[in-house]
Amino acid sequence: MAEKKIGMITPFPPEHDGIAVYADSLWHAMGKGRKNVRIIGGIQSRAPLKIDSRSFALKANLNKLIEKEHLSLLHFQYVPSLFGRHTLNLNLLAAMGLPVKRIVTLHEVHDGKGGLKNRILERLQRAIIKKADAVIVHTPEQKEFLDEKYRSSNLRCILQGMEVSSRPKDSPKKKNLLFFGMISSKKGVPCLIGAMQYLPYYHLQIAGRFVDRGAEAEVMQALRKHAALAHPGNMLPPNNIQTDFGWISEQKKSEYYQNADLVVLPYTWAPYQSAVMQDALGHGLPVVVTDVGYLPEMVSMFNIGEVARPNNPFLLAEAIMKVFCSYKEYGKGILAYQSRASWNVVAKEHLRLYREVLQ
């Protein structure tokens, strides 16, 4: 990339955000190639350059950084909340008019269905793709969908990266299930808790922080209902669900994955390729996901787990049991996916795209 410099606009640690962890991992995996990549993080981050991404002055502030740092390309890690609900992301759209090359990673892909909010997100998505020199998505289906919808030639599929820390196990140590991540009303945690009544010999660990009060109320109600089912005349043990609500440190997160045999993603809405699924597969663990959004695509393509109907505790439990009955069969697919989505591979694809756009 010669001496041309890239600015990556993103949350960055210690900000408690999944994209912050993603950007940190991507930047470090770039190795020597990262010497020309400057991280532009939030005000509270430890990034070398800082900016308020939610400000209406985003364009002007970025322009100052472009001139000061001699940037030739801006890479936006895009999720709508990063650039502000109150600004309706108009600050981002204005910033994409700056006189440099522009790459956007769409961590969510919206079809515009299901209400006003989704229609607004789809229109923002359309405008972003139109203004960008290149757009990164994380699955072939996402790219195919956007190709057909917008007839755009600037789309590139780069799998979401993962840290490969463990090979898949031939058999489970126990029957330990893990739900990890931010808990919203669209993550389906009450359904998973409901499924545990059909899984008396399994143990579930729920770990993550609530992002809306509605989700907290629903989960607590489901836990109380589950506890009421545990009595002397019932096979269900009273302690087969453990919880850890709040922000989970990277060390504690690693411990949860190491103790797990299977990761469950019972989501009811998922316009993204889940980072939780990447973490699971990086630890060599199979997954059970629900048939929503872009979750099933890689699971079916690589045979790395099972897919269940959303909002159905019995069918979710059935899919979980199926994985444990054929546990070893998923190992080959997990190894194949690890080789395709390791951070080293993903980082090289990003650096290659930077060179292409700058040329």
In this structure, the answer to whether residues 145 and 25 fall within a common structural domain is: yes
Q: For 127-145, what is each residue's pLDDT tens digit?
A: 999 999 999 999 999 999 9
Instruction: Note the pTM of the prediction, 2 decimals.
Output: 0.89
| Residue 116, domain member (yes or no) | yes
CATH code: domain of residue 256: 3.40.50.2000
Q: Are residues 189 and 332 in the same domain?
A: yes
* Boundaries of domain holding 18: 5-161+342-358
DSSP structure string for 239-278: TSEEEEESPPPHHHHHHHHHH-SEEEE--S--SS--HHHH
pLDDT above 50 for 73 = yes
**Across residues 68-75, what is the average pLDDT?**
97
Write down the pLDDT at residue 3. 76
Asked if 318 and 246 sit in the same domain, the reply is yes
pLDDT at position 1: 47
The rounded distance, in Å, linking the Cα atoms of 189 and 152 is: 37
User: Do 78 and 156 lie in a common domain?
Assistant: yes
Q: Decide which of 232 and 226 is more confident.
A: 226
Task: Quote the number of domains for the chain.
Answer: 2
Place of tokens 């790459």: 103
pLDDT in tens, 153-177: 999 999 999 999 999 999 998 999 9
Is residue 171 in a domain? Answer: no
Confidence at residue 233, expressed as pLDDT on a 0 to 100 scale: 57
- The position carrying tokens 């990339």 is 1
Claim to verify: residue 199 and residue 334 sit in the same structural domain: yes
